[in-house]
Amino acid sequence: MTGRPHPSPTSTVAVVPNRTTAVGLAVARRLEREGWDTIDQVGLGIDLCDRDAVRRVFAEHRPAAVILAPLSSTAVDDADRSAVLSDCLRRQANVFDAAVEHGVRRLVYLGSSASYPRYVAQPAKESDLLCGPPAIGDEVPAVCSAAGLTAVQAVREQHGLDWTAAVPSEVYGSTDDGVWADDLVFTLTRRYLEAARDGLDRVVNPGAGTLAHDLLHVDDLADALVFLLFHYDGGQPVNIGSGRSYTTAEIATMVSMGVEFAGRTAWDPSRADESCHVRLDASRLASLGWTVARELREGIGGALTRVRSVESGLSFSPIAATGMRGADDRG
């Protein structure tokens, strides 16, 4: 669905979060390959909590579009909840307000699957968003995401701007220089690489290995966000997912083969699985003509190749992905 004219190449797109995150870096590089200029708060040296600084940046650079990812996407410790929630809401509000003030017609807000109810039927449809309490431990990212989703709809109705929202499934993978999303694949990769390095004959993973995952490579997420930015102006949120499901055991097998671990894998059902995300119904996005470009096995192999080319040892730079949940909070 398209509406008013979209920004043309050489226009500036503001990318939030910044290039220190896997998502921000992937989105910025995807835009720049197409000839767009990008700005982010780290490159500009500003704090998004500073309302006046954000307004000055928008006034000076006049971005034609904005991609805004959630500024709190993972569960946080109880001691940090108040500060993280306050910062997240303030930063989002400052970006939204500056974008409205300067008439930014195109904005895509990347929400979190934490906004889906705790016991939502899966794969979850967009109509299920905000229809019940979130999973235990997900309250902060759920509230941040809900605020963003609601703000997008309010701006559309009040100001007539073509803003839209998207919700990703479980993001994995690394950027070209080895910045990883802090996800299940990262955790398994580190574990199997260390086991291979130490000559272990067995890796024990927590859980039973039966949980299903819809894994979305960070570069596919970037492709989808750019696609939505310039090809969709509908008022309904859009799920971004691969539409494919793999168990934790299947993913572990792919990773162990990728790192050439010669030992065997065991599972410990007495321990909770390391991650559990909502699997999403991505049929709305598919109906718009977008599909994932990377098979999971290919994505895992590419990520391993990248990290090996960057790191001589086992030093990683994990960056938080979107919507992490405790496995014991989902059925």
pLDDT, one tens digit per residue, over 264-302 is: 999 999 998 877 788 999 999 999 999 999 999 888 887
How many C-beta neighbours within 10 Å does residue 9 have? 9
How large is the average pLDDT for residues 249-255? 95
User: Band of the pLDDT at 181, cuts 50, 70, 90?
Assistant: low
User: Band of the pLDDT at 240, cuts 50, 70, 90?
Assistant: very high
DSSP bridge partners of 212: 247
CATH code 3.40.50.720 region(s) in the chain: 12-170+216-240
Quick one: what percent of the chain has pLDDT higher than 70? 81
What residue type is 140 in one-letter code?
A: V
**Cβ atoms of 92 and 147 closer than 8 Å:** yes
CA atoms of 302 and 5, how far apart (whole Å)? 36
- Predicted confidence (pLDDT) per residue in 72-118, tens digit: 455 555 668 888 899 999 999 999 999 999 999 999 999 999 999 99
How many C-beta neighbours within 10 Å does residue 312 have? 7
The answer to whether residue 314 scores a pLDDT higher than 60 is no
Q: Global pTM? A: 0.86
CATH code 3.90.25.10 region(s) in the chain: 174-214+242-329
CA atoms of 256 and 228, how far apart (whole Å)? 35
Which of 40-54, 70-84, 209-223, 246-260 is least confident? 70-84
Q: What angle do CA 315, 203, 298 make, to 5 degrees?
A: 65
Give which of 209, 187, 195, 308 is closest to 262, Cα–Cα.
195
Q: What is the pLDDT of residue 262?
A: 93
- Predicted confidence (pLDDT) per residue in 127-158, tens digit: 999 999 998 888 999 999 999 999 999 999 99
Give which of 26, 5, 6, 13 is closest to 240, Cα–Cα.
26
CA atoms of 212 and 202, how far apart (whole Å)? 23
How large is the average pLDDT for residues 213-217? 93
CA atoms of 53 and 70, how far apart (whole Å)? 19
At the topology level of CATH, where does 174-214+242-329 sit? UDP-galactose 4-epimerase; domain 1 (3.90.25)
Query: What's the CATH number for 12-170+216-240?
Result: 3.40.50.720
- Predicted confidence (pLDDT) per residue in 188-198, tens digit: 988 998 899 89
Burial of 255 (0-12, 13-18, 19+ CB in 10 A): buried
CA atoms of 54 and 133, how far apart (whole Å)? 32
CA atoms of 148 and 225, how far apart (whole Å)? 16
The answer to whether residue 329 scores a pLDDT higher than 70 is no
Quick one: what percent of the chain has pLDDT higher than 90? 56
- CA-CA-CA-CA dihedral for 41, 166, 119, 137, to nearest 10: 0
Position with higher pLDDT, 102 vs 331: 102
Can you read off the two tokens belonging to residue 138? 């997900």
**Cβ atoms of 32 and 10 closer than 8 Å:** no
